[in-house]
Each structure stands twice: as C-alpha cells, then as structure tokens.
Amino acid sequence: MKNFFELLKKDKKFVIGLMSGTSVDGIDAAIVEITGDGLETEVDLIAFETYPFPSGVSQRILALCQPDTGRVDDICEMNFYIGHLFAEAVKYILKKSGIHTNDIDLIGSHGQTIHHLPKETNTDHNLSRYPSTLQIGEPAVIAHETGIPTIADFRVADMAAGGQGAPLVSYIDYLLFCDSVKTIGLLNIGGIANLTVLPADGMFDSVCAADTGPGNMCIDAIITEITAGTERYDKAGQRAAQGTAHQPLIDEWLQHPFFQLPPPKTTGREMFGNTYAMKCLEACRKSGLSDNNSIATLTELTIQTIVNYIERFIAAQNPIDTLYVSGGGVHNRTIMQRLDELLADTSVEPVDNSGISADAKEAIAFAILANETLHGNAGNLPSATGASVRKVLGKFVCP
Ligand SMILES: Nc1ncnc2c1ncn2[C@@H]1O[C@H](COP(=O)(O)OP(=O)(O)O)[C@@H](O)[C@H]1O
Ligand SMILES: [Mg+2]
C-alpha cells in the first residue's frame, strides 16, 4: 500500500477525481497530474471519462433521494453498490487511458448526494432542523477494489462547522481562476446551478458563492416525463429553441422563497426535484402550453434565476467581466445564448476557453480537494459556505 507520508514527499502526483452530481447521469472521472498544493497548485488534465450508470441505477438513486421512496435498507445496500460503481469508473478510465493503477497516487471522491438539508431547507416532513447532508458511494469499497488510497465525504466537515457543505468547488475556483484585474464568475450548470464570483481584488474573504436554483434538473425531469423516458435531456437546447417561454408562469415561479435569499445558499433535489418539476409541468399544461413551450419555459426559469441572482446580489458591488460556464448546461445552446444576451456587459464563455474542460471541471476539483486534504490544507471557503471556520475536508481510507 502507498504510504500517505511517501505521497506527501512527491512533487508530482497523479490523482483521480470522481464525481456524480444531482443530475445522476453518470460518474465523471478525471485523471490529473497535480504539482504543489494551496496557491501553488498546478494541474494538468490527463484523461476524462463519464462512466454511465448501468440501466436502472439512476432511477434507483432517484428513489433514494425522496423521503417517501428512500428506504433505509436500500440506502444501506446502495452505499456499497455505488462505491463499487465508483471503483468501476476508476478501472474504466485507467483502461481507456492506458494508465496503470500503480501510477495513481490518490483518489478524491465526492460520492453521490442523496439528500442535502442545509439551514434554510424547510420540507414538510422534517421535524428537526439539524442541518445535514448525505453522500453515498462507500470509500472503503473504492479503496479496496482499486487498491488506491481514497479521500471522500468532503462536505460534512464544513457542515459540522455551521456551513452549508456547499459549494466546495469555490475554493478550487479561487485557487485556479483568481485574477487581479478582472472579476471572474464561474457558473456550473449541473442539475443545480451554482455561481462563484472572484472579485478582482483577489481577496480570499471576498469570494462569494451560492446555488442560484435549478440548472438542468427541472428541464431533464419534464423531458423525461413528456417523452416517457425516451429522452432524458434537451440535446443542445433544441426543443427549448423551438418553443416560446411563457413569462407569466416564470414570474410566478420566481416568487419562490429560495430565489429571494442572499448568498451563501444552497439547494438540491429536495426543493427543485421531480415533485417541483411536475408541479411546473402541470401549470404549463393548465396554461395550454405545448411540450416545447413548456420546455422553453423551464429553460427560461433556469436562465432568469441565474441572471436575477447576478443582478440582485452581485452586479452592483462586483460586475462580472468574464463568466466561465461549466457542467452539462454548457452544451445547451439556448441557455448559453440567452445568458450572453441578458448579461450584456459580461463575456459569457465556456470554461474550456480558460484551458479547463467544462465537462471535467467538477471531477478535477475533487482531485485537487483530495490533494489539499493530503497536505493538511483547509478546503472550504467560509465566505462561500457560511462555515464558522476553515476546515480540512474529507475522510481517508487506506486500500
Ligand atoms: N449535449 C447536451 N445538450 C444539452 N444538455 C446537456 C448535454 N449534455 C449534458 N447536458 C445536460 O447536463 C446534465 C449533466 O450535467 P452535469 O454537469 O453532469 O450535472 P451533475 O453535476 O448534476 O451531474 C444532463 O443531465 C443534461 O441535462
Ligand atoms: Mg453529471
């Protein structure tokens, strides 16, 4: 087994970052070469793959996410099974890239979130208001099956310190993108959309981050419903482009309390999952909207919640010069075009323009977070998560 102290002495490490987001579309795996740590971190992407979930697994995970269908025996078993699938994702990327297991020093695994209850959450079923979050994909299984030391479960330490446990990527955004001249925004459009703003002053404490609301989650949910599962997302945003958004419904939806909250704030499937999306679809149908008009309306909700958040909470103090977009939403041309149109004074670009792959960015972030933990560096940004102190994140598992 690799000794953690030996690892620390290496100036170059090969780390695999693993991530499956709220879209539950597959496990993203990135192999990166990392030099240094903290502000000296340099990272090179060697390989990236998305390991698709075997048929039926996404649905099983989605069932775990909801209080009325998430049974404790299923959660127990799926924690191990998802751990096994994360290990398979590692084997898959190693095979595809021709890299040998022995060349990998460390794994950083985010796991699969099945529930996230930060402070502001107010779901009907909740009796206690103890903030909590649950990521499954047992790291002991990953470490055992791959033979590689694994660091996982990064969110809980931040939450134990009073934070939201998210967004964690903001710290990595700070390490990689901070600019002394320009204010940079990093918008990740996954199932949920989140934005990190790095003001041009380069100060650690002025980084501002939040989830803005749904990203692709509601769009995916209604397309799946409309097509009875034959389509699971709006490829390149084509259906939205063919439809027309119905603004009166969007205006109504924009009244949701989450959109009124200032940063930091986070959300998830508990608030904007299937139940929410089906209510929206029902409202679209009541208003007589066609399928594509409904998709256009939910797509526009994502767009306007991002833009409104920026206008309301960011623009006055820190007008964004460049907004780098990552996550699957970068492939939705309707979203990208509308953001560009509405954010007239901001250059809206895929993060690929900066040299970091939009699809791989989150997986890369968890590889870097693992490296930070290995070096004993704190990995949360209290200004982004609301935690009372900086924390070293994650739990080590030896193979
Ligand atoms: N070619 C595409 N066109 C439009 N949307 C896409 C495309 N590829 C991926 N997406 C969207 O991105 C989502 C996955 O994004 P991802 O960044 O992996 O999110 P998460 O982190 O929540 O898993 C898909 O569910 C889909 O909605
Ligand atoms: Mg994904």
Q: Average per-residue pLDDT in the chain?
A: 95
What is the pLDDT confidence band of residue 127, given thresholds at 50, 70 and 90? very low
Q: In ligand 1, which atom is closest to the CA atom of 190?
A: 19
Dist CA 80 CA 397 (whole Å): 14
Q: Do 234 and 276 fall within a single domain? A: yes
Beta-bridge mates of residue 45: 32
Dist CA 301 CA 214 (whole Å): 8
Q: pLDDT tens digit string along 4-13?
A: 778 888 989 9
Q: Do 337 and 379 fall within a single domain? A: no
Q: Do 225 and 91 fall within a single domain? A: no
Residue 174 lies in a domain: no
Predicted local distance difference test score (pLDDT) of residue 18? 98
Alpha-helical segments (H) within 310-386: 333-342, 361-374, 382-385
Please tell me what DSSP assigns to residue 309: H
Q: Do 365 and 218 fall within a single domain? A: no
User: Ligand 1 centre and the CA of 245: distance in Å?
Assistant: 21
CB 42 within 8 A of CB 356: no
Q: Do 345 and 223 fall within a single domain? A: yes
Sheet holding 208-214, edge to edge: 208-214, 192-198, 184-189, 322-326, 347-350
Q: In ligand 1, which atom is closest to the CA atom of 235?
A: 3
Q: Is the CB of 233 under 6 A from ligand 1?
A: yes
Q: Is the CB of 332 under 6 A from ligand 1?
A: yes
Q: Do 349 and 365 fall within a single domain? A: no
Q: Do 38 and 59 fall within a single domain? A: yes
Q: Looking at the predicted structure, is the pLDDT value of residue 121 above 70? A: no
Residue 172 lies in a domain: no
Q: Do 99 and 138 fall within a single domain? A: yes
Structure tokens at 289: 């909207």
Predicted local distance difference test score (pLDDT) of residue 120? 57
Q: pLDDT tens digit string along 281-314?
A: 999 999 999 999 999 999 999 999 999 999 999 9
Residue 151 lies in a domain: yes
Q: Is the CB of 235 under 6 A from ligand 1?
A: yes
Q: List b or e across 16-47, with b for residues whose CB sees 16 or more CB atoms inside 10 angstroms.
A: bbbbbbbbbbbbbbbbbebeebeeebebebbb
Q: Do 334 and 203 fall within a single domain? A: yes
Q: pLDDT tens digit string along 167-223?
A: 999 999 999 998 889 999 999 999 999 999 999 977 888 899 999 999 999 999 999
Q: In ligand 1, which atom is closest to the CA atom of 191?
A: 22
- The mean pLDDT of 133-145, rounded to a whole number, is 98
User: Ligand 2 centre and the CA of 24: distance in Å?
Assistant: 6
Domain count along the chain: 2
Owning domain of residue 162: 4-167+360-397
What is the helix (H) or strand (E) element at residue 9, kind and residue range? Answer: helix 4-9
CB 308 within 8 A of CB 189: no
Q: pLDDT tens digit string along 89-105?
A: 999 999 999 999 999 99
Q: What angle do CA 76, 78, 79 make, to 5 degrees?
A: 65
% of the chain at pLDDT higher than 90: 90
Q: Do 16 and 141 fall within a single domain? A: yes
Predicted local distance difference test score (pLDDT) of residue 40? 94
Phi, psi of 371 (to 5 degrees): -65, -40
Please tell me what DSSP assigns to residue 54: P
CATH code at 242? 3.30.420.40
CB 136 within 8 A of CB 116: no
User: Ligand 2 centre and the CA of 327: distance in Å?
Assistant: 8
Pocket residue to mutate for ligand 1, from 332, 334, 351, 364, most atoms within 8 A of Cβ: 332
Predicted local distance difference test score (pLDDT) of residue 119? 75
Residue type, 252: E
* Residue list, CB under 5 A from ion ligand 2: 21, 23, 25
Q: Do 323 and 260 fall within a single domain? A: yes
CA of 268, nearest ligand number: 1
- The mean pLDDT of 29-38, rounded to a whole number, is 97
